[in-house]
Structure 1
Amino acid sequence: MPEQENPATPTPEPSSPTARTKAIRATRSIKTAQDDVVSRAVDRRNPDRLTRAFAHARLAAKITDDNRAKDILLLDLRGVTPLLDFFVIATANSRRQANAIASEIDAEMKKIGELKLGMEGSEEGRWILIDYGDFVVHIFSGDGRTYYALEEIWGDAPQLSWRDEPGAPAGELPPPPTMTTTDASTPAESTAETPEKSSD
C-alpha cells in the first residue's frame, strides 16, 4: 500500500519586529522598553459607589464579629491597587464556623442588593474568599491565615475602623491614602553638609 504524501505546508513568513521589540533588542533591557506606569492607583470616579462599598465592607466585618471570628481587619486598598477598594480579613476557629460566617455574609449582602461575583474555598474551609467586586471578604482558618499572610502582602494598605466608635462619625469614608514613592533613577539629595574649599 503506497504511503500517502502530505502536501507540504508553507512556512509562514516571519513577522517584522514591532517598535517595542526593536527597543528591547537595542537596549537589551526590558525596563527601558516598558511604558511608564502610574505608581499610585487611580481614584474612583463614582463616590456613591465607593461609599456603598465601604459601608458593605464594614457590614461584612461586623457580621464576622457577630459570629465570633477573631483578628478582624478592614484594609483600604484604594491607594495600592486599581483592582478593588477594600479587603475584610478574619479568622474562624473551625471549618463549620467559617462556612456559617460566609453564608451569613452572603445572605445579608443579597438582602441589601450586593451580589457576589464568586465564592471559593467553602469546601476546604481553610480560606473562603467572597468577591463583591469593590471589596473582597477573606475568612481564614488560623493556620491558613498564617500561611497566606495577606496583611503582610498588602502591608502598604492602611487599616480602617469597622466598628461604630463613640464620638466618631458613623461609617464616614476617609480620604484615599497617599502612597509615597521614590524614583530609583534620581539619587536622593544628600543632607550632609559638604566642606567648602578654601581658596589658598
Structure 2
Amino acid sequence: MEQVLLNPGKLARTAVDVASDKKASDVVLLDLQGLSSIADYFVICSGSNERQIQAIADALEEELEKQGASLLHQEGDATSGWVLLDFGAVIVHIFGPREREYYRLERLWSEAKTVVYLQ
C-alpha cells in the first residue's frame, strides 16, 4: 500500500472542525512550527463534562484515522479532565473547564501563532 503524506496544517484544521462539531468550547489551534520539536500544531479545546470529553476524543480519533493519521499515543482519560491525543505533528488537548484554567496551555505557548480561535 502506498503511504500518503499528510499535511499537518490540514489535519489540525480537521481536528478543529471535529471538536467544533462535537460542541467543544474555546477551540484554539496554535502553530508551533519553529517553537517546538514535539509538534507543529496544538489543538486545545474544552468539554463541559466527562461524557462530552470522551465523545470529542472518540470522534477525533475516528475522523483523523479516516484521514490517514495514526494515533501514536494517548494520555489521560475523560475522568481525569484532560485527554491528550498525539498524532505526531498534531497534538490535541481536550480539557474539562477546571483543568483548562489550571494548565493554561495557551499562556505557556504564548509565542505560538493562534491560527484559529472558536468560542
TM-score > 0.5 by shorter chain:
yes
Which 4+ runs in 1 deviate beyond 3 A?
none
Residues 1:118 and 2:73 are matched in the alignment? yes
Q: How many residues align?
A: 115
Identify the residue that residue 78 of structure 1 maps to in structure 2. Answer: 33
The C-alpha deviation readout for 1:21-66, integer Å capped at 9, x for no partner, is xxxxxxxxxxxxxxxxxxxxxxxxxxx95x7111011111111111
SS in 1 for 2:7: helix
| Post-superposition offset of 1:124 | 2.3
- Runs of 5+ unmatched residues, structure 1: 1-47, 164-200
Change (3 A) 1:136 1:159: same
Separation in 1 of the partners of 2:116 and 2:27? 10
Deviations 1:164-193 (A, max 9, x none): xxxxxxxxxxxxxxxxxxxxxxxxxxxxxx
Which residue does the alignment assign to 1:55? 10
Whether contact under 8 Å (2:26, 2:117) holds in the other structure is no
RMSD between superposed Cα atoms in Å:
1.8
Larger Rg: 1
Task: Select the structure that is richer in helix.
Answer: 2
Choose between structure 1 and 2 for higher RCO, CA contacts under 8 A separated by at least 6 residues.
2
Check if 1:132 corresponds to 2:84. Answer: no
1:147 aligns with 2:108: no
Match of 1:43 in 2: none
SS of 1:161's equivalent in the other structure is strand
* Contact 2:26–2:45 (CA under 8 A) maintained in structure 1: yes
Unpaired runs of at least 5, structure 2: none
Structure with a larger share of its residues in strand: 2
In 1, distance between residues paired with 2:110 and 2:59?
28
